[in-house]
Each structure stands twice: as structure tokens, then as C-alpha cells.
Structure 1
Amino acid sequence: MDTLLDTLPNTAPGRHRRRSSVPALVAVLPLFLGVLGVGEVSAQSTELQRGRTVPATLAAGDTVRYTIEADEDDFVLGEVNQISVDVTMRVLDPDGTQIGRFGGLGRGIERFGGRTPRAGTHTLELFVADDEADEAGRYEITLLRHEPVATDPRRLADQIMSRFDGEDSPGGAVRVWRDGKTLYSKTYGMANLAYGIPFEPDTRTNIGSTSKQFTAFAIMLQAERGLLSLDGDIRTHIPELPKFDETIQVRHLITHTSGLREFLNLLRMTGRRLDHGDWIDRSELIDIVQRQPALQNAPGAEWNYNNTAFGLAAAIVERTSGQDFHVFMRENVFGPLGMTGTMVRPSTRHIVPNMSEGYTPGPDGYRQIGDLGGAVGAGSIYTTIADLQTWVENYANPRVGTRESIDEMMTSFVLTDGEETGYGYGLSVDEQGGLKRVSHGGADVAHRSMLVYFPEINAGLTTQSNHAQFNSGVAYELAAAFFKDAMETDEEDEEDGAGAAGEFDPQDYDAEDFDEFTGRYALDAAPNFILTFTREDETLYTQATGQQRLEIVPTSDSTFRLLAVEASVTFLRDEEGSVAGATLHQNGDQHATRLEGDAAEAWAPTPGDLADFAGRFFSEELETFYTFTVQDEELVMHQRRLDQASLTPGEEDNFSGGDMSFAFERDRNGQVIGLYLSNGRTRDVRFARVP
């Protein structure tokens, strides 16, 4: 997903170190995104004027420049009508530093915009996304809005959502409330592009993993009724599950601490193309668990985001109630609360009246992408923005469920080592502006969702969209605007010792101070994926395994922002003050451990070394083959349904590529006999070498 002008602060909580994957109902996305190269830049540039449409042509290898004179904190919105050419745009600040990039939609109207970080001439560079395009194509560019960033929260919401407005774009919705009063409610864009149906307040939209709190709530209801125990063995209710060395309790399912494989990531390993709409049936979850040879971690010892667990939680609700999950939720939750616009979609084949279709940009326009299968419990809820307000108001004044159950859901779970996870039961728990914040984001294939609640001021808001490029985290920025009176200011933060982040000037940062951070850091969830940090004079860089080097800039003395993609890094110290790790903030938090000594030495295998890994490997657990060949002095992965991928060496006998990591296994004679495959939430799936 291409990045936009930086419109949001990084709000990922820094104190939670156990988060290892994305809090969304999607498989883990690649970390970092490749930066497209550009050809020769035209010598001249055209200044964009609001309301004026400029027609032009563009050919592969050429770059066209447009300029916008802006003050600091101006809001800019424009669009490019890609008539016969696929255009990619990148934005440069007055110093020539890339601060954003837009693209992905091959034909039709692509909008760009956001907040300008400083005053001066900002440059928009346009180039052809397809380097192999034979002929020049036509496009038109228009600057739609250029105005100061709004201080009124309602106008700010309108600015933020404007990129997803109009008859040509998938849309979205925002709703804000406090003390039972709706402060703002507005919809944008289209719910259905094929039939020209606009996004309306009563449009039902897929909230993805925001659904998890509903599943946890259903578990709590059954516990209140004495039909299950949170401390009970999940095999009490699903006896066909295997007996592992340690007991998985019901509580472990709804806190992401079960140790089970994550089914979406696991199925991707088998070649299932979730992005192509491959069918997944709910029954597969139990089969997946039955085939898992051992837990990935001791239950309760590690937080690892897990859709399998919530799917099993829904099955436990069914078995303890005697009702299908969608019926249970309608009769026990949605109905009693008056949430008439809310339903669980039992499968992707079931009709959802008045629903928004999900869309993702494609080379020939928007594509209708559908929903993930097998998502009941982990996702699959369609609802309206008004019903979400009703739902959160039940947190404040329970009409269904007890005060004790809701409070327990909103309490951070404590791991067996005593560390908090920052996650309760189906809910993230952290702070914003000195207030306790309870929230959950969601993402199906194309739908995006965020629901935020501040219990101390009885206020909340939700952002929803059916556009795959929508950043639902704008909910946090809107919360800061709408509830400003109740949140601490930068000055108050500074008095508390937190510092005023807005006063940090990157120009004052001494690049030599970065030397204590330079080195290599391995992601805990994928140890063969290494982040390498380096410095060349005054310029700071990071490079991920198998990807190109990207420039980073400081945002404080220990936090840094990537310029080419929407990501940032926080360096972490141990009790002695030494830099021991880092957290990559990109679609969630990924903790990485610093490599020291011999572990930091890069391995450079020879063509002869690579030949040791060539061959075919089979997993009994997945019933899947992988083949490896040596081509042009690279090890190349082949799988029947996945794209061929060249692998990058990491530590000795370890490779990464195709968004996975491969740890090869040798016998006592040094012969490669197998490998262990990982891709974030699912790890160490064994493959044996076959003749």
C-alpha cells in the first residue's frame, strides 16, 4: 500500500514490547515497501493553482514536476485523472526530502493530499508506474483544495476524509459521541461503485477485527451464566482438539496468548491466495489445530495476535449455547441493545442487506475484492456507525452484561513473566493525552475500521471505510481534536517528564548520536528478517532483509521516521541503559532484538553453498511442497500457487523472501535435511527434504 503525506502522529504505544503482529483480520503484510525509481526529471515545473485542471502526457522513464506554494500546516487535496497512463506520485518537502507517495490505481481518478510539514515550495513528481509501458499516456491533474489545516474538529474530519469522497471513490464514515450525545456524524464516497450507491449512515460495513470485542463479550456472557470458566480447558468444549503439553484456557483465546498457529498466515504458506478470494471454511480451524504438532509458546507466556483463537472462541459460544454464533449474537447481544443494523455474516456467501462492498486499487481501476472466509469470531461482523455508538454506550452503562465483565475486558492481560500486554479481552488498552484509551482496529481484505473509547470521559468515536488504502488510525487524530479539552497538552506532558514531542527539531539532532543505535536487529516474530541501521555522515539509514536501503529522520532522541514509507522505529534500552532492541511501528508494533558479536556478522554463501539447499521439501502438517533452485547465484523459492521469490541470506543457513523466512536444518554430517518456515504470526512449520 502506497503512503500518503504524513497526516497522523505515530500513536502506537511505546511501552508494550510483546506485540509481534498486526491487530487486524489480515495476514501479516510485508514490512517496508519498495520505493519506485524515477527517470529523468523535466527541467521545468508547473505551479498548481486551485481549481485549475492541467492536461498532460507521460511516458515511461520521464518525470513531470508540479509545485505548490504552501505554509506550514496547510491542507492540500488534489486528484489525477489517469486517462490512459498509470501514474505514481511522490511528494517532496521544500528541502527536497520525500515525505509521501501515492499510487496503486492504474486508471481513473487517484486523489492525493494531506498536511504540509513546513512552509515553502512543495514538489509533486509524477512518473509512470509501469517501466515497460511502450507509449506515452494522457492524464489530467487538478488541485481541489488548498487551505489551512482546520482547527475546528468537524472541519478537520472533513479534510481528513476528503480523499475518500466523491462519486468515483470507495468511501467511509466518521461518528463521534460524548456523554450520550452525538457530536459529529458524516459519510463520504460510495458504498457500491457498480450501482452508484453512496455511503450512508445506515450502510452496513465490515469492521474486520474490531469484531473481536464482540466475541470476547459473548464469552463473558456465557461465563456470567455459568456455562464456561475463563480458566477452563478449551478441550472441555472442543474435545477433538489435541492435548498439548500445557493447557490452553478459554482466557488465553481472547487475549492472544494461546500459542496456536494463526490460520490466515498458515494457509498462505500452503499457497492459498487470500487476496484472490480463495475459499476458507470455518471447519478448517479445528483441522489446523489438530495438525499442529506443538504450541508456538506456552499459554499465557507470549502475546501473538491470533485469529485462530477467536474463531475457536466463537465455536465455544456455539457449543455452550446450542446456537449458531450469528443467531446467538442476534438474540443475546444485538437485539437486546437495539443494534438493528448489525449482524454476523456466517460466510462470504451470505447476503448482507445494505452493505458496503470492499474495493482495492488495481491496474485497470478499483477491484471488488470480497471478504475473507472462515472469519467468524475473528471478524465477519457488519454494522453501522450508529450501532457502534450504541455498543460503546453499553460499556458506559451496561444493559447487557455486567460492569465486572466489561471492566475485566478493559484490563490489560498480564503474562506469566509479569509483563502487561496492553491488550485485554478483544480490546487494546493504552493511553492518549493522559486518558485511558480502549480501542480496536480492523481490516478485512479491503474494509478498514477503528473503534475508540475513552471511559474516563465517556466518549468515543469510530472511523469506517471500504477503501483498502484508508488509514483507520485517523480516529486517534480526530480524538485529539474532538476531546482536546480533556486531554493533556504538550506542556503538561513535559511537566510529567514525557517531553513535548512537537518541540523536537530534527535539525538540532547530532547524527553522531545515532552511532549507538547502528547495527542489526532481528524481528522476534521472524528472526531471519533483519533491520540494519547505518549512518553515512549526516544521513541515517535502515535496510530490511532483501529490500533496499531507506533514509530515516529523527523525531526524538530515540525515535525515527522512514521517509519513503509509513513506518517509524523506536529504540529500546535495557535496565543498564544499553540499546537492546527496537520496535518497528508499521501496521502495528513489531519488536526486534539487537544482534551482538558473531550473530551480527553477515553470511555470504557461495554458489556452492547455495547448492546445498536446492531441492524439494514437504510439510506433513501443511501437506505442501516447496522447491528451491539456484539461479544467477541466488537461491529461488518455488511454490505451486505463490509467486516465485529470490531469497536473501541472513544468518548462516537462514534465508528470507516472499514475506517468509526459511531456517534450514542439517544432520550430523552437515547434509540439509529440512527447513522451518515462518511468516510472522505462524512460525517454525517443519518441512522435510524429499527425493
Structure 2
Amino acid sequence: MRSWPALACLLGSASFAAPHALAAQSPLALGKPLAGTVTGKDTARFTLRADSNTVVRLRVDQRPGNVGLRLLGPRNTVVRAMNGSAKGPEELLVITNEAGAYQLQVVAADTTGGAFAVTLLTNERLSTDPKRQVDQLLALWDRRDGPGAAVAVWRGGRTVFAKAYGMANLAYEIPFTVTTPTNIGSTSKQFTAFAVMLLVEEGKLSLDDDVRKHLPELKDFGQVVTVRNLLTHTTGYRELYNSLTLTGRRLDESDYVGREEYIPLVNRQPALQNAPGTEFNYNNTAFGLAAMIVARVSGMPFEAFMAQRVFGPIGLTHTQVRADVRVPVKGATVGYSRSDKDVWRDLGDLGGSMGAGGIYTTLGDLQKWAEHLANPTVGTKASVAQMMTPFTLTDGKSTGYGLGLFVDTQNEQKRVHHGGADVSHRSMLALYPDLNAGITVQSNDGAFDSSIAFRLAEAFFPELAPKPVVARAPFDASKYEAKKFDEFAGQYALDAAPAFVLTFSRAGDTLYTQATGQGKLRLTPTSDTSFAVQGVQASVEFSRDAAKKVNGATLVQNGARQRASRREGPVAATWAPSATELAAISGRFFSEELETFWDIALVNGTLVAKQRRATDVPLRVTAKDTFTGGAVTLTLERDRVGQVIGFYANVARSRDIRFARVR
């Protein structure tokens, strides 16, 4: 299941060092590939001209090679950057904000690089017709040799638009249609929450029940974890899939995961990651346990309860829970991910996802579901209202998440939504209650970005269109005095996820931000208090208190705004361990909790984390005694004389998993 959308991709795109080698700029012409090679710190440059509000789509074939891309706009700031796969083709799509000359830079990724060919596929004005916009933005999936996508838009009880693109099944050449059932991943969570609310209405359980009342075999951590904590991601439990990746479980290669693993995973935790109700931590474990509670309380298998008590009565005739990933779903899409050899692979669905995901449904059924939430005939309006009310943490801060649903705004209109991602399926359901409208997108391509639903909603619903910008003199970033940034320098923890910290710093005239477990990215000033993040479509705005002291920042990304509070105290100085210090860290480490070994080895001057079933992960220093590689952060544990005796591993939503040195 995909994590919280506003965080899942936050600063997660590849970051690139400043170019060290200049190459001639080659103009790109539609449909004509240009070849090149980059190695080391080379940068190959290609140019194109585009008007404002133009759809630009580029394809880079790595043949073979591992390259990263970044597109610079007319002001020489990064519009988009990516490095999605180590081999094969990559496509980059942007909608331009201003007219002028754009530059595509191709750089060697991880210093390996290699040969590539780049092609400009599209350079056309974004249509003012919403239906034509869908065709433009989903052109990549309008094909017969790859997976597809589908979109439905509705308002006031009427379907405004519904269309499918591409293929549902490549082996049998079956097209994706508007009636094709597909895996909606974590978009399923709202259905699980609704099932719980039906039992609450019947008096069979309470949201404030201790989960151990219904699952007594769960470990007692000395703090009450409630059913409400499960549905609001505030339990303190480890996250199932993140934890299993540390054991070498290859979820991207269809490794088995069973529902029987949920409770043992929780019971092996030495302690909760956080006190219940104090922190939002998006968590599939919690919703898997919620489905177990529905089954225990109702006396019915979860999939049967959903069919008989939810899907059937509401009229969702093409919706079902896939309880066993080995049992086929009739007429459904097959999920595909592109391999490093440029072939489509069927990797199946995540095992054990029932409750957290695992629902197959159609565009039409999701529209029925959304309209039912507005005027329920099964369940009550009061229950739906609870689902759409953001949870408040014990410190009084809102999480922006209700019961199985995110709740926020899009251009000042209330938005209720949830995205989903299984191994190779993607989905998004977005509702606009005040407009009596909604949109859903689905895809069986693992590379599909389902947040495109928000962009399409703006096209169909005029009320969502961005407000006109008041004309003013353009901000000249070249005249910004870098030393002014010093008042913003420091660390800011996201209010809804305090473990996720943004660090802001300055080196000479260059401004940086760095997210927890990720590399530094440059900032470009867009005003005296706002900055664009180079490499991703995100920006940061700083705020002051009544005394004019900088007290927070707001991250703006994918139409959502995430508040972060400033941490007091100085930022720790950069740590540069010597070769001798790195060698002293090397060794073999074992986690009793996960029952798995990791080896830390010094390879050509770099520490590398190794696990027998996982890909080697080079580690880089991010703070004193802290290393990051991929999605994993390791914090060293030392004894009284400074010897490394273990480390604590953090991987996204599972934290502080101890590994002890065994040699």
C-alpha cells in the first residue's frame, strides 16, 4: 500500500550534483531521437522551446546505462527531475508555466551513466477542453503494447466523463475498459473504516475499545491502543511491509506475505514507536488488524462481511475483496511493471493486504460508492461525517486524516481523498463534498502517478481552478541576498509526522534543504520568504510568530500544504568519519525482532549494507553516527568507550529496529 501521498514523494526524486562538465546544447525536434553518452560527472544538454501551459513529454532510452533527467525552465530553475529506473526507458511529462527556452539535462546516475537516446514526443498546447486534456495527459497509456489507465468524473449524480486507455491484459490482448475491475490498493482503507462504523452503529464495538478486547493475543505494551488509533494511523505499531523489507523480503519480486504475520510482527516489538494518539504514521498493519476485528466481531470472514453488508446493499456489483492473491479476479486487470530489459512483468499483488488494500472494483462502482457517502442508505450520515473528520493528536494538532480518508483542501475547496498503490496497480479517489463532485483514476502500470487526478479535477470543475495571480513585478532571484536565508536555517519537523524533518542550510550563496533519510536539494528563492525545491515540484514557505521570529514552514506539494514547526537549538555539524572510523563500524549485525542478519562492509572507502536477499545499499553520512542508503537510515549504538555495538534501523514507517553486533 502506498504511503501518505504528500510524504511518499516528498523530496524523493533523485538529487543531482551541480554539473561539472559542459556539453554542446543540441536542439530537440519532435519524434527525432538524439543519442549521447554520459559518465562520471558529465552533463548532456538538449534544448527545446515551449509556450506557457504546454504539455511537454520526453522519453529517454537507457541503452544500456543508468541516467537521471532534469528539465530546467526559462529562469534556469529545475521544473522536474527524475531517475525512476536503473535501466530501460523513462518518460518525463510536464505542463509548462511560462514560455521560453527549456533545457533537458541528462546526467550519469550513481556515477555509472552510459549510452542513451532522448526523444521529444509531445510539445503541444494544453487544451481548454477537459476531455481533450485527459487524452493529452494520459497519452502515455493510450497504447496496445503496455498497461493502461482509466478515468471517471461525476457531478450532481451525473457521469461527466469516463474513458479507459491501453491494455488490461497483455498476454491475451484484452483492452482496459471503463467496466474493467482493477486493484485500488490503499483506496480500500475507507471501505474497512466503513465496515467498522457499521459495527459501531450496531453497538457491537466502540472506536474507543482497546484493540486487545477483540484481539487478546496482541501484546500488551502498557498503553491502550484503541480501534480509533487503528483507523487514524496513530497506534505506534511497526508497519508490516516496511519492516519485512529489512528481512530481505522482496515485495517487488512477488515474495509471499501472509495475514498470519501481522500479530507476530506487533508482538515482537519491544515497545511502541510512539504513544497512541501522539503521532500520525501511515500504517498498513493497523488496517490489517482492523479487518481482523471486523471478522471477529461479526463472526464472518472479512471478505464475506464486505460482500453481504457493504457491497451488495449499496449496489457495488463489480466490487470484491481479493482475500487470496492466488485466486484470480474474473475479468480484472493484470498489474505490470517495466523491467530493466524494457519488458513488462506481471508481479502479482501484495500478499496479506486485506483490510489495508486488496479490493478490486470499477470506475462505475467507485462513483456509486462516492455518491452513497454523500447520501448513505447503508450506515448513517453521522458515521460518514466521523470518517471525514480529521483526527486531532494529543498535542492538539490535526493529522489531516479521518477514518480511512485524507481530508484537506484544493485551491480552497474541501477535498476528501485516498490514493492506493499495490505492487503494480495505482488508484486515486477524490471527492469534493461542497461541489457534489468527484473523480477517480486507476492504472495497472506501476509507474503511473495517480495524483494526476487532482490536475484533471481542476479541468472539469471550474471552482477548483487556481485563483488568478495578482500582477506584480517578477521576483528577481539573482538579487536575493543569500545571507538573509540564515534566519530560516535550521530543522523543521512536520506537525503530522514529527519524525520527518526538513533541514535548511546555506553554503556560500547556495541554499539547501534535506529531508530525513534523503540527500540535499537546492532551493531557489521565489520571494523573500518562499523557495522552490529544485528537482521536485514542491516549494517551501516560511512563517513568523507575532514577534516576527521564524517559527515554522509550510511544504506545498501535489496540491496539499503540510505545516512544519521549527525545532529549537543549533543544527548538528557535519560529521566526516575517517577510513579508520568507517572500518571500525564494519561487521555482522543481527535483529532479534526481525530474526535477520545484516552485514556492514567497507567497499572502496564507502560503507555498504548487505543482506543475503537484498540489493547492496551504499551508505552516506547524514549526521553524526547516522547513515542513509535508499529508504533505510541507520543510527549507530556505541558502548561507554565508543565502540560500535549495534545500530537502529529506520525504514520509512518502521523505526528504531535494533540490530546487535555479532562479529
**TM-score (norm: length of structure 2):** 0.88
Paired residue for 1:452?
430
Change (3 A) 1:544 1:79: closer
In structure 1, what is the equivalent of residue 308 of structure 2?
A: 331
Q: Name the amino acid aligned to 2:153.
A: V
Gaps of at least 5 residues in structure 2 are: none
Other-structure match for 2:102: 122
> Against the structure 1 CA distance between its residues 589 and 73, is the aligned structure 2 distance closer, same or farther, given a 3 Å change threshold?
closer
Q: Distance in 1 between matches of 2:213 and 2:500?
A: 38
Q: Is 1:317 the counterpart of 2:297 in the alignment?
A: no
Secondary structure at the counterpart of residue 439 of structure 1: strand
Are the counterparts in 1 of residues 70 and 78 from structure 2 also a CA contact under 8 Å?
Answer: yes
The whole-number CA distance in structure 2 between the counterparts of 1:504 and 1:335 is 58
Residues 487 and 440 of structure 1: is their aligned pair in 2 closer, same or farther, counting only changes over 3 Å? same
Counting only pairs closer than 5 Å after superposition, residues 127-138 of structure 1 correspond to structure 2 as: none
SS in 2 for 1:283: helix
Q: Which residue of 1 aligns with 2:175?
A: 198
1:641 maps onto 2:609 in alignment: no
Q: Once the 2 structures are TM-superposed, how far is the Cα of residue 434 of structure 1 from its aligned partner?
A: 2.8
The reply on whether 1:427 has 2:402 as its aligned counterpart is no
Moved more, 390-399 or 615-624: 615-624
Report the Cα offset of residue 623 of structure 1: 1.0
CA RMSD, 1 decimal: 3.5
Aligned to 1:290: 267
Asked if residue 602 in structure 1 is aligned to residue 579 in structure 2, the reply is no
Task: Give yes or no for contact 2:439–2:453 (8 Å, CA) kept in 1.
Answer: yes
Q: Hey, what does 1:9 align to over in structure 2? A: none
Moved more, 637-646 or 61-70: 61-70
The match for 2:49 is 69
Separation in structure 2 between the aligned mates of residue 274 and residue 689 of structure 1, nearest angstrom: 27
Does 1:619 find its partner at 2:599? no
SS in 1 for 2:256: coil
Cα 1:655–1:90 shift into 2, 3 Å: closer
User: Where does residue 511 of structure 2 map in the other structure?
Assistant: 540
- Of 511, 514, 521 in structure 2, the residue corresponding to residue 550 of structure 1 is 521
Structure 1's unaligned 5+ residue stretches are 1-20, 492-499
Q: Pick one of 151, 154, 164 that aligns with 1:174.
A: 151
Identity %: 49
Specify the code of the residue in structure 1 equivalent to 2:524: V
Q: Which residue of 1 aligns with 2:476?
A: 507
Distance 2:77 2:166 in 1: 32
| Aligned residue pairs, count | 655
TM superposition shift of 1:168:
3.1
- Deviation of 1:340 (Å): 1.5
Do the aligned partners of residues 604 and 130 (structure 1) sit closer, same or farther apart at CA in structure 2, a change above 3 Å counting? closer
Q: 1:72 to 1:32 in 2, by over 3 A?
A: closer
The answer for the alignment partner of 2:461 in structure 1 is 483
What is aligned with 1:655?
627
| 2:544 is the alignment partner of 1:563 | no
Change (3 A) 1:76 1:166: same
Report the Cα distance in structure 2 between the residues aligned to 1:81 and 1:32, rounded to whole angstroms: 19
SS of residue matched to 1:216: helix
- CA–CA distance in structure 2, aligned partners of residues 211 and 528 of structure 1: 25
Q: CA deviation digits over 1:75-99, x for unaligned, max 9? A: 2345567788887654332344442
Q: C-alpha deviations, 1:145-196, integer Å up to 9, x for none?
A: 4432222322222222223222233221111111101111111222223332
**CA separation in 2, counterparts of 1:81 and 1:667?**
50
Contact persistence 2:77–2:524 (CA under 8 A) = no
Alignment deviations for residues 439-484 of structure 1 (CA, whole Å, 9 cap, x no partner): 1111112222111111122111111112222221122222222221
Query: How much has 1:579 moved relative to structure 2?
Result: 3.3
Residues 102-124 of structure 1 show CA distances to partners (whole Å, capped at 9, x for unaligned) of 66578887554332232123344
Per-residue CA shift, 1:26-45, capped at 9, x if unaligned? Answer: 99998342438989666463
The corresponding residue for 1:400 is: 378
Write out aligned runs for 1:45-124 (5 A): 45-49=26-30, 53-54=31-32, 57-61=35-39, 66-77=46-57, 90-101=70-81, 104=84, 111-124=91-104
Structure-2 separation of matches of 1:84 and 1:663 = 36
Bigger mean CA deviation after superposition, 384-393 or 101-110: 101-110
Corresponding position of 1:354: 331
Q: How far apart, CA to CA, are the structure 2 residues paired with 1:79 and 1:653? A: 40
* AA aligned opposite 1:551: R
Match among 242, 253, 277 for residue 300 of structure 1: 277
Task: Give the SS at the match of 1:356.
Answer: coil
In the other structure, the counterpart of 1:464 is 442
Distance 1:528 1:611 in 2: 30
Task: Indicate how the Cα distance of structure 1 residues 124 and 521 shifts in structure 2: closer, same or farther if over 3 A, else same.
Answer: same
Number of the residue aligned with 2:346:
368
State the TM-score, normalizing by the size of structure 1. 0.85
Structure 1 CA distance for aligned equivalents of residues 60 and 246 of structure 2: 37
Q: Which amino acid letter does the alignment assign opposite residue 320 of structure 2? A: M
Partner of 1:677: 649
Distance 1:611 1:110 in 2: 38
